[in-house]
Amino acid sequence: MTATDTRRVARRDKRRLILDAAAPIFGDEGYERASIDAIAASAGVSKPTIYSYFGGKEQLFRESVADSALEQNAQVLEVIQRLDLSAHGWLASLRELGMKLVECQRTPCAVFLARMIAAETARDPEVYRVVRAKAMTPILESLAGRLAMLGNAGHLTVPDPALAARQFLALISAEIPELTEHGTRTVPDDRVRAAVDAGLDTFLRAHARREQPAR
């Protein structure tokens, strides 16, 4: 490795340290109360180092949100791509997909994103646009593609895969914010699964082929 390569790796590592330190502080404190001093101390770097990498608090916040969105995106896309399309396995796999997607929504990363969107979008609309571009749109497109495959295989009726993907996500998640009090309360897995199954049953009543049982 050349000296230039070493410097590039060191720069990436330091940037990673800052982003890893910033996410929980922004998540716990919000944009206004979070301080560069606290983030610098947690990352083990100086304040000037943070400014040299990110320019200021606002840009650091946006990049922290984008980084968390990418992390969440990777987890969810992996789950969606594992959906079983076979005749004997698709329904159980779709139920398991619903549960896995909700589990992803309950991770610290997802809770951070939800809090930031709710708290900061009015102050800075770019926050929502970042999350939509980095996480929401790719997830919806991937899920729409898999639902379309289930339609092509004759398991579902999916005239509009993009709309079906939005409906699927909305229905499996419908009870979760209230159950978990927006991520602040631990809920038993069996209660979460019951909520996910109820949402999926509603989805299947709209989209399952007539000859297919809903359960």
What digits encode the pLDDT tens for the residues 172-201? 999 988 888 776 788 888 999 999 999 999
At residue 158, what are phi and psi to the nearest 5 degrees?
Answer: -130, 80
C-beta separation of 144 from 161 below 8 A: yes
Query: What's the pTM value of the predicted model, to 2 decimals?
Result: 0.76
pLDDT digits (tens, 9 = 90+) for 110-149: 777 777 787 888 888 888 888 888 888 999 999 999 999 9
- What does the pLDDT look like over 160-174, one tens digit per residue? 999 999 999 999 999
Buried b (16+ CB within 10 A) or exposed e, 147-162: bbbbbeeebbebeebe
**CA separation for the pair 188, 104 (Å, rounded):** 15
Task: State what percent of residues in the chain have pLDDT above 90.
Answer: 56
Q: Which domains does the chain have, with CATH numbers?
A: 1-55 (1.10.10.60), 61-207 (1.10.357.10)
With 0-12 / 13-18 / 19 or more C-beta atoms within 10 angstroms meaning exposed / middle / buried, residue 74 is exposed
